[in-house]
Structure 1
Amino acid sequence: MPEQAKSTLDPKQGSQKAMSKAQKKDDQKHKQSYSLYMCKVLGQTHSNMDVFSKVMGMVNSFGSYILECIKGEASCLDHYNRCSTIMSQETQMALCLLLPPRTD
């Protein structure tokens, strides 16, 4: 069988010169981070404090983990109630189930 001729170049199979800058940016995965928001809150509450980047990475991981746990618990509560949308009531109940109450 004769091979079909390609009319267009596939940039991923071609040379690196064939890739444009926009295509390179699309190939990079976007990493979600909460560190910018946490720095802003820290600046508002404790304006004279700085945070090391390793510590901010740990805080970012902790925040992501907590949000994933809340999302999973709210999804389970939604499934129990036979709903298809997570609303604020399920989110608040998930927070009450996951986090212990304050004793101050």
Structure 2
Amino acid sequence: MAEPTSSTSSVVETTTSTFSVERLCSEELKKTDVTGKKKARCCYHRHRCHRRYKASFVIYYHRLLKKIHHELRLSQKMIYILDSFVNDIFKCIASEAGCLAHKTNRSSISSRDIQAAVCLLLPGNLGKLTVIQATKALFRFSQSE
């Protein structure tokens, strides 16, 4: 068999590139409306797109720090690190509590599962102290209502 010469390979490359350019042009035409302006689309799905809510605790960091130290401020980098730390701990506690509920053949997570998950995840005496402080805060909150 004869190997393709450079002229035949360039013809193949030219036809493929023109095909892809034509395909891109036809896709661009589908995206334009009657006035010729591009349609504003957030994604390429047929269903309605919704912005995904990202849990953030940023406003609470400032409030808490203001109660403890009035003169201190947090940098943006510190806020980002603190927020990712809190989200990671939250996910770990939620997954551990879900596993505990699954092991006891229940479909819902109770407060007891969350307390057990906190005690399992946090090292040493820190888990027990956290549960005690959370119980006090919950008691004060229920008394204020």
Between structures 1 and 2, the one with greater helix share: 2
- Structure 1 pair 28–77 and aligned structure 2 pair: CA distance change class (3 A): closer
What is the rounded CA distance, in whole Å, between the counterparts of 1:17 and 1:29 in structure 2?
24
What is the rounded CA distance, in whole Å, between the counterparts of 1:14 and 1:40 in structure 2?
47
Q: Does 1:39 align with 2:87?
A: no
Q: Does 1:56 align with 2:79?
A: yes
* Cα displacement (A) at 1:14: 4.5
Select the structure of larger CA radius of gyration: 2
Q: Which moved more, 1:58-67 or 1:42-51?
A: 42-51
What is the rounded CA distance, in whole Å, between the counterparts of 1:87 and 1:97 in structure 2?
16
What is the rounded CA distance, in whole Å, between the counterparts of 1:29 and 1:80 in structure 2?
31
Aligned residues: 89
Deviation readout 1:7-64 (Å, 9 max, x if unpaired): xxxxxx4456765xxx8xx654433211111211111111110000110000000000
- RMSD across aligned positions (CA): 2.7
1:69 to 79, 83, 92: 92
* Residue segments in structure 2 that go unaligned for 5+ positions in a row: 1-30, 43-48, 127-145
> Normalised by the size of structure 1, how large is the TM-score?
0.71
* Residue segments in structure 1 that go unaligned for 5+ positions in a row: 1-12
Per the alignment, residue 8 of structure 1 pairs with none
